Structure 1
Amino acid sequence: MDALHQQIRNIDFSNWLDVAVAISVTTKGISEYLESTILALHQEIKNGACALLPNCKQNCSKTLRNFSTWCPTCVKWKGQIKSYNKYRNRERKIKWGDINSSDWPRNVDEMVKVFAPEWWRARTPYTEDLSVALHVIQNCTKFNIPVLICQRVRDVRNALFAHGHLQVDNAEKKNAFRILLTILKLPEISQTRSGRLAISQLKRLKSKCVIDLMTEDEAFRHHLVLALNPYKDTDREILNQYEHVKELRLCLREDQNGQLQRILTERTRIVGRVYGNGRFAIALIISFICIIIILLNIGHRDDTTWEGLHNEKGCLPMTFSSPCPWKPDFTFDGYLTNRPILIGRNWLIDKIQTSLFGTSSRGILLTAEMGYGLLLWRGYMD
């Protein structure tokens, strides 16, 4: 665990984790808008121009190279999908042979392949890979998100693995969060439930690192697991080079002995100093004030020791004692008035001592109504 101990203290590695998790949060944030738009487009084609077409039985895109020999159903579907392609020069790059045209009426993923990058072959959901999602948004006319915003978000994602050193400084982190929040705050996305949740989570990440947040919210732990296990093989190969990444994965998966919790606690103390001496000073002042208050109130506490009970001449107070600043919600004055036999316990101490040590049986039976302090004596005898 030495490598993990060392790296968890590194603020630049902590920033890298924060940005990686922020990308995962952003991907989830735009997923609802992305999926609903794609599903609506698929239904529009299926129930519109292609509503009455028969099913293709030969999967034309896979079996026929010449488009002119395709069946009427595949030709119609192909033409409808192409009409939503935003860039004409991209049409010749579409590899139709990698698409199952016969599945277009039933499988949304086969339609998404037309707008997705060529390396994506539906091995992962298009809503769970930010790179794929941005390609679809940028290439389909159904989406109105500015191209520049998509490019900047893509740059943030690519920069995370660009040099393979897993280091992000404070300025880079601040810029990355600003860009990611820009796309999430677009009206189309911010109006969705996933978009609103992502905005809230990114704001928390801006002020508190994921190492701390994951102990408070299971969602951040989930996003960290996704960030450390990317879908792209090249990204995963980069992360596999680092022992502390492997150890962090293991801790997230099998935290049987509380190793991760101890590391996170140590990391919290160190990062707390890095994030600014101001916060540390405030926390120290508050702690000092609390200690003073506790010390000042020790003298006012009732003595419930054996000596205190033995020297007690009356009952312990059942209401707040002066100088307590709070007024009690209820008192026991009426209860005490109606039960005049509730007096001090000196006689009971002597009686118990006599019964236990002055008789051969050395056994006693105590009975009392609720509130007379029977449990106190039972606890003492135990």
Structure 2
Amino acid sequence: MAGPSAAPEAPIPFPFPPAPSIFHPQPELAELRQHHPVVQVQLPDGKTAWLVTRYEDVRQVLIDPRFSRAAATGPDVPDVGLGQAAADSILSLDPPDHTRLRRLVAGAFTARRVEALRPRVTKLVDELIDRLLTLPQPADLVENFSLPLPIQVICELLGVPTADRHQFREWSDTVMSDLSRDPKEIDAALDQLGEYFGRLIASKRARPDDDLMTALIAARDEQDRLTEPELVRLCYTLLVAGHETTANQINMFLLTLHEYPEQRDRLRDRPETIPQAVEELMRFVQLGSGGAGLPRVTTEDVELSGVRIPAGSAVFPVMSSANRDPAAMADPDRLDVTRSQTAHLGFGAGPHHCLGAQLARLELQEALRGLLTRLPDMRIAVPVEELPFKEGMLLNSLRTLPVRW
């Protein structure tokens, strides 16, 4: 790969225009990755930040404690989305506070405990497909499969009534909005989520159950390991994060396999390769719509790819670009569901590596296995370019996905 050339004299405008294809990152990112892997950008509000696009540099930003998430919650730090939702949650903490809260829930997401959930997830997949098969065609896969599956799983794990699904879905959509959403609407949704979980927590205190929320309440009440506001925020963060990304990943996985039918057929004929296919799809699929991850702020001067980033600078790691870096993997713009070595940052890295990564993997594996096995001829019922995506979302989020089988 060519080394970086002279940096642009002035910050370049960011975010970039939407990519021409939902299956590939913005072309500006490849150009930057090759010639200006660490570059200063200017956001619409006039604030500046540094954009990092190469795999090794992005990974460094994610794992290096000199890039602080807690420092990135200040008013002068530019934002590409989540804003107050991230500032008030575990997403915005550095060790030791982040470590303290993460340890409280990490036990529920170990590889062993998640694997023990596989029979339940497989049963849910089969039940959803059974119901789907009774519906007239085309049927909406969003409403009838990709959304209810992760919602049911996280609700059962956390102890949230699935009957409230439509209520908290609206709040979740608002929280996951991009910068086009009025911040007052996001604050209102967070308040409503907080009130909702305040009522649930009171109910669980009166009638404890065998679920994660009851365990967190015990950690609060009996061990004083988190405050009441931390308890509420941790619960609604787990709920939103536990279904929002996985539901959209299922949809984008299926869209991508529809776009690359030879890969879909290869996977259908060799279902034993589904686990590695999930890793490849995590690398390849464009889940985020904005291009950059949550910002960090440098606590001291740091050098990346020969560029000095001053202390106190906001830094955006671009995972979608890192996942297409030819220095990290061969032929990165080619989807290969049988790729044996898949380096990707789809779940992040370092202290903020996705807590539910193993659970998401399990759900994605069983979703693909069920659909490819039981609906081998399933196809999208409309042209991809006509599919309705929600506007103003941080994730590529479909309103509906009509399918036939």
Look at both structures and tell me which one has the larger radius of gyration over its CA atoms: 1
Give the structure, 1 or 2, with the largest relative contact order (CA under 8 Å, sep 6 or more). 2
- Please indicate, yes or no, whether the TM-score normalized by the shorter chain is above 0.5: no
Greater fraction strand: 2
Normalised by the length of structure 2, the TM-score is 0.27
Higher helix fraction: Structure 1 or Structure 2?
Answer: 1
